[in-house]
Chains A and B, each alone.
Chain A
């Protein structure tokens, strides 16, 4: 059955957005990512204008991440305190990122810098996560039952010397409160630059820098994605008129269920298993982007807007 989308000004078979929502919602509930890096290009592929695709996806993520946060919160896997510090940083970083885009545009090579940043970030995060989780999976096999060896690297000593040390009970870690704010801001800048939610960056930051357990990472990531996407949806609707309500509803029908299923399924997997699957997905997306960048496009013109 087809429905007409009043803002996208096009008609879609409803099975497509519902199916996409289900698939991306599943990933969201499993890994704590918004899934914009998958959803937006897929929507464009199905004929949705790129600006409407990005804006409507953020509206859909509000639903999927509410559903996912709720599912993870029920089993005590959301660190609200950490989430709020990350949000503060992310908000500041987002503002900085928007300014950075203006500077890059004035320099005239914005698209090149943005695309390169995107590919390098995805590629290096994916590769690092892949090999790290692979080696820690091997370790747990050989050295059974030994609790986490506490490595005292120079970096972690430095982190401990920072002021405002705070204990994050849910995550079981102690950090300077500045740490999540700074890294939240860092992800915020990059996310704004690349026009994505940044979940795929936030998850590794929480795992590798904030040393949070993977299951709490997923829930907390969804919590902060929820607030980011509320802000983005409102701004997109208010200033750009790009949110398609009908498309968002079709997507969220799938994604809210997908997020629940993902959360339930995720509990059955180990942290390292989750990390390695996410790493593979991130790497596949990287390869796809590199392929698109190097192969001759069939059309050399596209709709304006976005960046």
Chain B
């Protein structure tokens, strides 16, 4: 068994997680996954970031990189046609077991490299995520499909969902395959913990996987203001009002001195 792991080129690595070998007896390079930073700080001037993932894998394996937030429930307003003419909110739809953020990147098209069972098992790709999720209230499977597609469009519009192939670059070196991908991290992604999972694929099956985490957290003024809005709501409200009153009067005085009279 080849247990050599190359550290070269991982200058920005913060930490490293090793996956345990899971498979059927052939020899592997242990799959590794490292994100360029495990912490994204959201400060006053934050406008999104980038996340790169790199590691080594067994030569000849295809790779899937999935980044997702923990699954949860999301309630969205549903638009529909009223009286055959007017579009308006007609109700609410609850999506369960869906992540807030869901990125899937693969070396090839997912359906060309994985069997349906494997995609479903590891929740890779929108069809698998749809099967994994629950949508209510819907009357039929077709309706669930329709609204899940709408859900994906909604998420893609906020840059929180994406799937694509061909962005992962690989190089072969010393009997190992090195991979690398750089992804834009959207500022729309809320604070929280995100899991980066890398899957090595051979013969339509996932043969190995490795995980790492990315934390997004608010810092400084952003953190204090967000905390105050939640935990000291009365004081926050009063300060907001006083600042607005002060600004209104202040500007009024400036204009009087500035010759606003006629």
A residues at B contact (CB < 8 Å): 1-4, 6-7, 9-11, 47, 59-60, 62-71, 74-75, 111-112, 115, 230, 233-234, 236-239, 241, 243-246, 248-249, 252-253, 256-257, 259-260, 264, 267, 292-304
Q: Would you give 22 A-B contacts (Cβ < 8 Å), ordered by A? A: A1-B45, A2-B47, A3-B45, A4-B187, A6-B218, A6-B221, A47-B188, A66-B244, A67-B248, A68-B248, A69-B248, A70-B252, A74-B252, A74-B256, A111-B89, A112-B82, A233-B241, A237-B233, A244-B229, A299-B153, A300-B80, A300-B147
Residues of chain B lying within 8 A (CB to CB) of residue A4: 42-47, 187, 222
Residues of B142-177 at the interface with A, using a CB-CB cut-off of 8 Å, are 147, 150-151, 153-154, 157
Could you tell me the distance between the alpha carbons of A60 and B249 in the complex, rounded to whole angstroms? 13
Residues of chain B lying within 8 A (CB to CB) of residue A264: 255, 260, 262
Residues of chain B lying within 8 A (CB to CB) of residue A111: 88-90
Residues of chain A lying within 8 A (CB to CB) of residue B233: 237-239, 241
Shortest A229–chain B CB gap in Å is 8
Could you tell me the distance between the alpha carbons of A260 and B262 in the complex, rounded to whole angstroms? 13
Q: Which of B93, B187, B190, B247 contacts A256 (CB 8 A)?
A: B247
Residues of chain A lying within 8 A (CB to CB) of residue B82: 112
With A63-B245, A67-B251, A245-B240 in contact, do A299 and B261 touch (Cβ < 8 Å)?
Answer: no
Residues of chain A lying within 8 A (CB to CB) of residue B60: none
With A243-B240, A264-B262 in contact, do A67 and B252 touch (Cβ < 8 Å)?
Answer: yes
Known: A260-B260, A297-B87; 12 extra A-B contacts, CB below 8 A, are: A6-B229, A63-B245, A63-B247, A66-B244, A112-B86, A237-B240, A238-B233, A243-B240, A245-B225, A245-B239, A252-B244, A301-B151
* B243 interfacial contact with A, CB 8 Å: yes
Residues of B35-84 at the interface with A, using a CB-CB cut-off of 8 Å, are 42-48, 75-80, 82
**Binary per-residue interface labels of chain B (14-49) against chain A in the complex, 1 for a CB within 8 Å, 0 otherwise:** 000000000000000000000000000011111110
> How many pairs, one residue from A and one from B, have CB atoms within 8 Å of each other in the complex?
184
Q: Are B151 and A11 in contact (CB-based, < 8 A)?
A: no
Closest to B187 in A: A11
With A9-B190, A11-B47 in contact, do A299 and B245 touch (Cβ < 8 Å)?
Answer: no
Could you tell me the distance between the alpha carbons of A74 and B252 in the complex, rounded to whole angstroms? 10
Could you tell me the distance between the alpha carbons of A230 and B249 in the complex, rounded to whole angstroms? 15
Closest to B238 in A: A234
Q: Are B248 and A66 in contact (CB-based, < 8 A)?
A: yes
Q: Are A301 and B154 in contact (CB-based, < 8 A)?
A: yes
Shortest B159–chain A CB gap in Å is 10
Q: Are A245 and B47 in contact (CB-based, < 8 A)?
A: no
